[in-house]
Amino acid sequence: MSIVVELNNVHKSFGANTVLKGVSFAVPKGQVVAIIGQSGSGKSTALRCIDRLEIIDDGQIHVCGHQVHGADVDLRALRTDVGIVFQSYNLFPHLTVEQNVMLAPRAVKKRSKVEAAEISDRVLRQVGLLEKAQSYPEQLSGGQQQRVAIARSLAMEPKVMLFDEVTSALDPKLTGEVLRVIEALAADGMTMVLVTHEMEFAAKVADTIIFMHQGKVWETGPGSMLRDPRTPELKEFLAYGL
- Mind listing the pLDDT tens digit for each residue in 126-144? 999 999 999 999 999 999 9
Distance CA 124, CA 118 (A): 10
Distance CA 127, CA 101 (A): 12
Residue 62 belongs to a domain: yes
Tell me if residue 193 falls in helix, strand or coil.
Answer: strand
Residue 8 belongs to a domain: yes
Residue 236 belongs to a domain: yes
Q: For position 232, which CATH number holds?
A: 3.40.50.300
Residue 32 belongs to a domain: yes
pLDDT tens-digit map of 145-199: 999 999 999 999 999 999 999 998 888 888 999 999 999 999 999 999 999 999 9
Angle at 30 between CA 81 and CA 166, to 5 degrees: 65
Please report the pLDDT score of residue 97 as a whole number: 97
Could you please report the per-residue DSSP string of 7-33? EEEEEEEETTEEEEEEEEEEEETT-EE
Angle at 198 between CA 194 and CA 200, to 5 degrees: 110
Half-sphere exposure for 106 (CA within 13 Å, toward CB): 14
- Contact 4/27 with Cβ under 8 angstroms? yes
Please report the pLDDT score of residue 242 as a whole number: 47
Distance CA 228, CA 230 (A): 6
pTM of the model: 0.93
Q: How many domains does the chain have?
A: 1
Residue 99 belongs to a domain: no
- Contact 40/76 with Cβ under 8 angstroms? no
Q: What is the mean pLDDT of residues 83-94?
A: 91
**H helices within 20-71, ranges in order?**
43-50
- Contact 205/35 with Cβ under 8 angstroms? no
Please report the pLDDT score of residue 241 as a whole number: 56
- Which residue range is the domain that position 176 belongs to? 3-88+160-241
Q: What is the mean pLDDT of residues 55-81?
A: 94
Instruction: Round the average pLDDT of the chain to a whole number and report it.
Output: 94
Residue 214 belongs to a domain: yes
Residue 127 belongs to a domain: no
